[in-house]
Structure 1
Amino acid sequence: MDQFNSKYYQIYANFLNKLAKDLTKFYYKKLDKPFKISNKLKGKGYDPVTTSDKAFEKFIRSKISKKFPTHQIIGEEYGHKNTKSKFSWVIDPIDGTRSYVVGNPSWSNLISLNYNGEPFLGLANFPKMKKYYLNTSKNSAYVFENNKKRKLKVNTRVNFANAKLAAAFHNTLSLKQQSKISKFIKRMQFPCFDALTYCQLAEGRLELVAQCANKIWDIHPIMPIVRASGAIVTTWDNKNPVLGGNIIVSNNITNHKKVLKLLKPVSK
């Protein structure tokens, strides 16, 4: 299989590093004002999209297209720009639109660079929190805040008994299904704040995160960041999370296996 050449990391990491700063400036200059909300599900549920989601995605697409015109782009709001390139960018213009709507600061801009469909670089930018998370290689990821950067590293030493677990089902597990994983539910100590919770695990602030119903643009930008920090990320049935779905991220393999076992009754 054709492999991603490590020499590309610096080129694209530099691009994403600048893009993070540009996105925050764009938000405060153009979008920090009242916005319109519509519901994608139109009475069959609630999946909000705002005029800001669309503006962010247009901005991101324009930056990518200008710098890398031959690359593919896959965005939540404007679909797939299909080319013959092995490089593709996956965009969630606002991860956590519900948070954005009610004024919580935990929403973010998520972008990944994929090669042959696999994410190699990820950016999670939090304009309201004025910080962003970015991996610069396979084994190095950082949080950038207050003009400083701090290397991300999970706390691998914390065992399962002491591990802090955050989880969210996003209305996809029925009460009957939840009754089958009561031991797991008893361990749910913290709520999930969209992509921020995955990033907090990469910082070593908690050890286990489990979420349901991740789309590719929710998880692709996160995968390279948490892996570079030393974390393990799979689906609930222990498969490659590249197609999205129900996701587990853990601080070490022992804890990962224990969570997989607890979730096994609902993992198929």
Structure 2
Amino acid sequence: MSVVDLARFMDDLATASGQAILPFFRAAFGMDDKARGGAAFDPVTEADRAAEVAMRGMIRRHLPTHGILGEEFGSENLDAECVWVLDPIDGTRAFVAGLPTWGTLIGLTHHGAAVRGLMHQPYLGEMFSGDGAQARLRSPRGERKLLSRRGTALDQAVLATTDPRLFAEGAERERYLALEGAVRLSRYGTDCYAYCMLAAGQIDLVVEAGLKPYDIVALIPIIEGAGGIVTTWDGGPAIGGGRIVAAGDPRLHETALRHLNP
């Protein structure tokens, strides 16, 4: 498929997943705990599964040589040149609570590099997309280019993380809290939406830990396309997940890394 076709196909995947998800949002639905009684509730819903089934079916029909890595149904053909990385609902806890800070993440890797990404929030009608060179938002209010915020000092920055309990007790949590204490404002409970707000210039830093590839791959081309930077805490590639720091400004990113790696 050509680049234009791939972009259209990603839109089609987003549309199909949104159609599978929306009947369940703010409605009664079945839900399981993937943690199986563990300390941290890790929900998966009928909507998660229905959306991933829909996307996997489309990829198998139209791009049978491509691989797939999905949160709910595992991996297939990961040695392929192109691999789709899917998280049908990133932010399932928000989804369960009826909050619209969740989204569907659709990423595409080529020879192991994240080359295209899309975050779809179907309830709000928003699609954030990027290819590493540029990023755009399409919404009911129109379409616009995304540009991250530049020149923000740490003491004026807005920082987001999904939950401070993501960070392991001890040095990891202490380093995060020290960074949070140095910024102007911090917000919790944002999941993938925070990364898109970083690309849109509303948030300056996103810091998290314990991420899986399907939590971050789709967001990398969006952030980088908007002029931001996203790496692991030690400055390495973010594509494998783990401890992640994203910033709208490269200099702010360097400052955050110094706080996280004293």
TM-score by length of 2: 0.91
- Counterpart selection for 2:249 from 247, 252, 258: 252
- Counterpart selection for 1:151 from 128, 145, 149: 145
Decide which moves more: 226-235 or 63-72. Answer: 63-72
Matched residue pairs, number?
257
Corresponding residue of 1:69:
64
- 1:31 equivalent in alignment to 2:28: no
Corresponding residue of 1:17:
11
Decide which moves more: 249-258 or 78-87. Answer: 78-87
- Counterpart selection for 1:115 from 110, 122, 144: 110
- 1:191 equivalent in alignment to 2:173: no
CA contact (8 A) 1:24 1:130 kept: no
CA distance in 2, matches of 1:182, 1:171: 12
Cα displacement (A) at 1:248: 0.6
CA contact (8 A) 2:16 2:55 kept: no
Corresponding residue of 1:234:
231
Unaligned runs of 5+ residues in structure 1 are: 1-6
Identity %: 31
CA contact (8 A) 2:70 2:85 kept: yes
Cα displacement (A) at 1:177: 4.2
Corresponding residue of 1:3:
none
Corresponding residue of 1:50:
45
CA contact (8 A) 2:17 2:88 kept: no
Corresponding residue of 1:174:
169
- Counterpart selection for 1:205 from 202, 205, 211: 202
CA contact (8 A) 1:71 1:87 kept: yes
CA distance in 2, matches of 1:179, 1:41: 25
Cα displacement (A) at 1:31: 3.4
- Counterpart selection for 1:162 from 135, 156, 159: 156
Aligned partner letter, 1:219: I
Corresponding residue of 2:98:
103
CA distance in 1, matches of 2:134, 2:192: 19
The Cα offsets for residues 54-82 of structure 1, whole Å up to 9 and x where unpaired, read as 11110110111111111111111111111
- Counterpart selection for 2:129 from 123, 134, 140: 134
CA distance in 1, matches of 2:175, 2:90: 30
Cα displacement (A) at 1:173: 2.2
Unaligned runs of 5+ residues in structure 2 are: none
- Counterpart selection for 2:81 from 80, 86, 92: 86
Decide which moves more: 243-252 or 17-26. Answer: 17-26
Compared with structure 1, are the counterparts of its residues 113 and 177 closer, same or farther at alpha carbon in structure 2 (3 Å cutoff)? closer
Corresponding residue of 2:260:
263
The Cα offsets for residues 196-252 of structure 1, whole Å up to 9 and x where unpaired, read as 000000000111111111110000000011000000110011111111001111112
> RMSD value over aligned CA atoms?
2.0
Aligned partner letter, 2:147: K
Compared with structure 1, are the counterparts of its residues 229 and 261 closer, same or farther at alpha carbon in structure 2 (3 Å cutoff)? same
